[in-house]
Amino acid sequence: MTTDLMINDPFASAVTEFAEWKLPSRRKVGVLSLIGTEATVFSIFVVAYVFYTGKSLTGPYPSDVLTVPIVATVCLLSSSLTIVLAERAFKRESAGGFRLWWGLTIILAIVFLAYTASEWYRLITVEHLTISTNLFGATYYSLVGLHASHVVVGLILLTLVLVLSVLGRVRPADAERLEMVSWYWHFVDAVWVVVFTVVYIIGR
């Protein structure tokens, strides 16, 4: 009943019962939980967007000012592919290949953000749509802005990894860490599929 009993381990039999005792990586579980709660945050903004679709009392309306961002979408979605290729190169221990694909992922993310920036610039200066103009403005900027801010966070993570890799600080043992960055990145891409569908297809 005391600690002595535990030290002498009368459970030696249990040790043999579970000779192979392997639990999921805590890093993976943690990141999946984070992604789960983040997805819920997004779903609330999506609900708000859908709920307020067509409820704006004054213009401009989505159909007047939004164009389907095909290039940006292609860039962001293909960055999910390039990051997978980067991971594969990393597992082959090909540093050059890894940096090439990882760098390409970063470039694709920057192109996506540049598109969002130019779209916002046009909407604000040409179309005079701000967050306080109408319900469309409020829901559009908050939903797309929330996604873009996640892209920015992802971009910072990606850049950090690239810098560390160039400095030679990324070791094969860090494979799981890189995998977590890539999971987050896939999540950001998957959210874009929903945002794209809701904002540019259904809501327009």
Partner 1 sequence: MATASPEIVFPQARERFSVISLLHELVVTVDHKKLGLMYICSGLLFFVVAGLLATVMRLQLAVPNNDLVEPDTFNRLFTVHGTTMVFFFGMPFIAGLMNYLVPLMIGARDMAFPRLNAFGFWIFLFGGLLLYFSYLGAPGLSGHGTAPDVGWFAYAPLSDRAFSRGHSTDYWILSIFLGGIGSSASAINVIATVISMRCRGMTLMRMPLFVWLMLVTAGMILLALPPLTAAQVMLLLDRFLSARFFDTQAGGSAVLWQHFFWLFGHPEVYILIIPGFACVSEIVPVFSRKPIFGYPVMVAATVMIGFISMGVWAHHMFAVGMTSLSNTFFALSTMLVAVPTGIKIFNWLGTMYGGKIRFEMPMLCCIAFLFQFLCAGLTGVMLASVPFDWQLTDTYFVVAHFHYVLIGGLAFAIFGGIYYWYPKATGRMLSKRLGLWHFWLFLIGFHLTFDTMHIPGLLGMPRRIYTYGPGRGWEIYNLIETIGVFFQIAGTLCLVINLLWSLSKGAEAGPDPWDAWTLEWATSSPPPEYNFETLPAVRSRRPLWDLKHPEDPDWKYE
> Using CB under 8 A as the criterion, which residues of the chain lie in contact with partner 1 when the complex forms?
1-3, 5-7, 9-11, 13-15, 17-18, 21, 23-27, 29-30, 33-34, 36-38, 40-41, 43-45, 48, 51-52, 55-57, 131-132, 134-135, 137-139, 141-142
Smallest distance from partner 1 to CB 18, Å: 5
Alpha helices (runs of H) in 69-129, residue ranges in sequence order: 70-91, 95-125
Minimum Å gap between C-beta 28 and partner 1 is 8
CB closer to partner 1, 29 vs 114: 29
C-alpha–C-alpha distance, residues 93 and 96, integer Å: 9
Cβ proximity to partner 1: between 4 and 93 the closer is 4
Question: By C-beta, is 75 or 143 nearer to partner 1?
Answer: 143
DSSP state of 18: T
CB 75 within 8 A of CB 112: yes
Phi and psi for 61 in degrees, rounded to 5? Answer: -100, 160
Q: How far is the CB of 4 from partner 1 (least distance, A)?
A: 10
Q: CB 17 → partner 1: shortest distance, Å?
A: 6
Residue (8 or 67) nearer to partner 1, CB: 8
* Residue closer to partner 1 (CB basis): 47 or 74: 47
Degrees to nearest 5, angle at CA 177 with 173 and 179: 110
Shortest Å, Cβ 44 to partner 1: 4
Q: C-beta of 97: minimal distance to partner 1 in Å?
A: 31
Judged by beta carbon, residue 63 or residue 94, the one nearer partner 1 is: 63
| Other CB atoms within 10 A of residue 111 CB | 16
Q: Using alpha carbons, select from 70, 147, 146, 62 the residue that is nearest to residue 115.
A: 70
Angle at alpha carbon of residue 156, lines to 151 and 157, rounded to 5°: 95
What six digits make up the tokens of 139? Answer: 């829901």
Closest by CA to 119, choosing from 195, 42, 58, 38, is 195
